[in-house]
Amino acid sequence: MFEKDEKINSLVDMGFSEDEANMAIIRCGVDGDLSVLVDSISASRVAGNLNLSNHQVMGGCFDSFGGRKKARLVEERKKKRKRCGCTGQSNQPSLDCNHDEDMLIPNPMVGFNLPNYSLPLVRVTRRILEQDMGPPYFYYENVARAPTGVWATISRSLYDIQPEFVDSKHLCATARKRGYIHNLPIENRAPLLPSPPMTIFEAFPRYKKWWPSWDQRTQFNCLLTGVAGPKLTGKIGRALASADTPPSQSIQKYVIDHCKRYNLVWVGKNKVAKLEPQEIEYPLGFPKDHTRGLGDTNRYKSLGNSFHVDTVAYHLSVLKGMFPNGVNVLSLFTGIGGGEVALHRLGINMRTVVSVEIDKASKRIFRDWWNQTQTGTLIEIDDVKSLTDDQVATYVTTFGGFDLVIGGSPCNNLAGCNRSSRHGLEGKQSVLFHHYVRILNAVKSAMARK
């Protein structure tokens, strides 16, 4: 009984009514995962609004990877069932078999299509139910390498739409493996121009002078929220200074391992250094000095948490022809405004942006950028938890609806480098994903009533 009360409280905190929470527990059982309960309520709401009684049955009908890939997925699942002793015949979700719901990430990670990508891509026959097509268009982002089962849950919560996994290394000089779920068209996309540099030396030619031949990196790994300090770079310098020329294999490995982990660059003889914040802005697609004015720690953190602008812009580019008079945007987890920068660089006018962001430093960066570049209306809200369905409905009435709902919910509990609290979608921060779903459903409902 305690567990039931706790789950009801959690759902009420998310903005659902007590009746809805109770009904979901009756449908799914008190043992049902919180995400399953949220899905159940969302599905009920959509079914209610659209007068559909079999929404769950109608969902999940995409053919994501083409025949061979799909067959491989089925094979993999069979193998995993075998390994864990599951029969796969039960309709009930099993906690022991969560990995049964994993989602294969394509290799290479190039999404549905990419500009100037020469290799043949997998056939995409994405199907989206009519009631889930835009407007409103939505765009959701998070880390690709989330714990097993997370992307299946996210996809299920977002109308069973297939995620598009893209590594930004195919578009710029730095890796950033991300998954995107959206209901945007995928034909006639256009990249931002000029194209960003694809290698470290193209982006930062001055580092070529001191780059040793045995450091064969041509691109950076993912630019994270943390960076190396002077103690580490000093240690590397001393190790190289006392080593032979060229250094022994073991010294080389020690240095390269740290260079890869912290994306260090060569700034002198035997001298490595971290990238400066303004250097990180560049490959991520932000304007120069976008984050200037904050302390370096906040700059690294906000940039590490941001969108890759060129990737997002490529996906959003289809909106340009669809909305020549501009768009109304509901921006959840805005951060430093990667989505808005992408729209701006595409030349898409933002008539209104309702921005929800809790971090004061990121809000300041985004507000400053908005005031310098935009003429539309900016409404700021502090927390997704405080944005009620009624408020959403009022905004829909006031602005005539939202054309785009965009955001990437916190990855803290999903990211591979979190060694202490990688708890998945129910983790302290990442649980906010359910508010994205709730708010998106509120927008859809309000717009359907218009």
Q: Does 95 bind DNA (CB under 7 A)?
A: no
Burial class of residue 340 in the structure, from the number of CB atoms within 10 Å of its CB (0-12 exposed, 13-18 middle, 19+ buried): buried
Per CB under 7 A, which region of 4-12, 199-207, 218-226, 385-393 contacts DNA? Answer: 218-226
List 415, 431, 446, 447, residue binding DNA (CB under 7 A): 415
Q: Which of 77, 156, 178, 345 binds DNA (CB under 7 A)?
A: 178
Strand partners, 330: 354, 405
Between 20 and 359, whose beta carbon lies closer to DNA? 359
Judged by beta carbon, residue 27 or residue 422, the one nearer DNA is 422
Catalytic residue among 86, 172, 411, 417: 411
Residue 410 binds DNA, judged by CB under 7 A: yes
Is residue 216 involved in binding DNA (CB under 7 A)? no
Q: Which of 7, 55, 77, 176 binds DNA (CB under 7 A)?
A: 176
Long-range interactions of 442-446: CB distance < 8 A, separation 24+:
442/389, 442/392, 442/393, 443/136, 443/330, 443/392, 443/396, 443/401, 443/402, 443/405, 444/46, 444/49, 444/136, 445/45, 445/46, 445/49, 445/389, 445/393, 446/389, 446/392, 446/393, 446/396, 446/397, 446/401
| Amino acid identity at 440 | L
Span of 52-60, 88-96, 181-189, 416-424 interacting with DNA by CB under 7 A: 416-424
How many amino acids of this chain bind DNA (CB under 7 A)?
Answer: 56
Dist. CA 75–CA 95, nearest whole Å: 21
User: Which of 52, 224 has the CB closer to DNA?
Assistant: 224
Query: Of the two residues 227 and 318, which places its CB atom closer to DNA in the complex?
Result: 227
For DNA, which residue of 29, 48, 67, 230 counts as binding (CB under 7 A)? 230
Whole-angstrom distance, CA of residue 19 vs CA of residue 168: 44
* Residue 448 touches DNA, criterion: CB under 7 A: no
Q: Is 57 exposed, middle or buried (0-12, 13-18, 19+ CB in 10 A)?
A: exposed
In terms of Cα–Cα distance, which of 181, 183, 186, 179 is closest to 137?
183
User: Exposed, middle or buried: residue 310 (CB in 10 Å: 0-12, 13-18, 19+)?
Assistant: buried
In the complex, least distance from residue 189 CB atom to DNA, rounded to whole angstroms: 21
To the query of whether residue 417 is one of the catalytic residues in this protein, the response is no
Least Cβ distance, residue 54 to DNA (angstroms): 31
Q: Kindly identify the residues of this chain, within the stretch 4-63, that bind DNA according to CB under 7 A.
A: none
Q: Which residue has the tokens 């193998």?
A: 79
Query: Between residue 285 and residue 344, which ones bind DNA under the rule CB under 7 A?
Result: 295-298, 301, 304-306, 333
Nearer to DNA, 68 or 209 (CB): 68
Question: Using the rule CB under 7 A, which residue among 153, 157, 328, 412 binds DNA?
Answer: 412
Regarding 364 and contact with DNA (CB under 7 A), the answer is no
Q: Which is nearer to DNA, 306 or 328 (CB)?
A: 306
Sole binder of DNA in the list 30, 47, 86, 105 (CB under 7 A): 105
Question: With binding defined as CB under 7 A, does residue 102 bind DNA?
Answer: yes
- Phi first, then psi: give them for residue 352, nearest 5 degrees: -140, 140
419 sits near DNA (criterion: CB under 7 A): yes
Q: Is 408 in the site for DNA (CB under 7 A)?
A: yes
Catalytic annotation, residues = 411
* Residues found near DNA in the complex (CB under 7 A): 79, 99, 102, 104-105, 107, 141-145, 147-148, 175-178, 221-222, 224-232, 257, 260-261, 295-298, 301, 304-306, 333, 408-422, 429
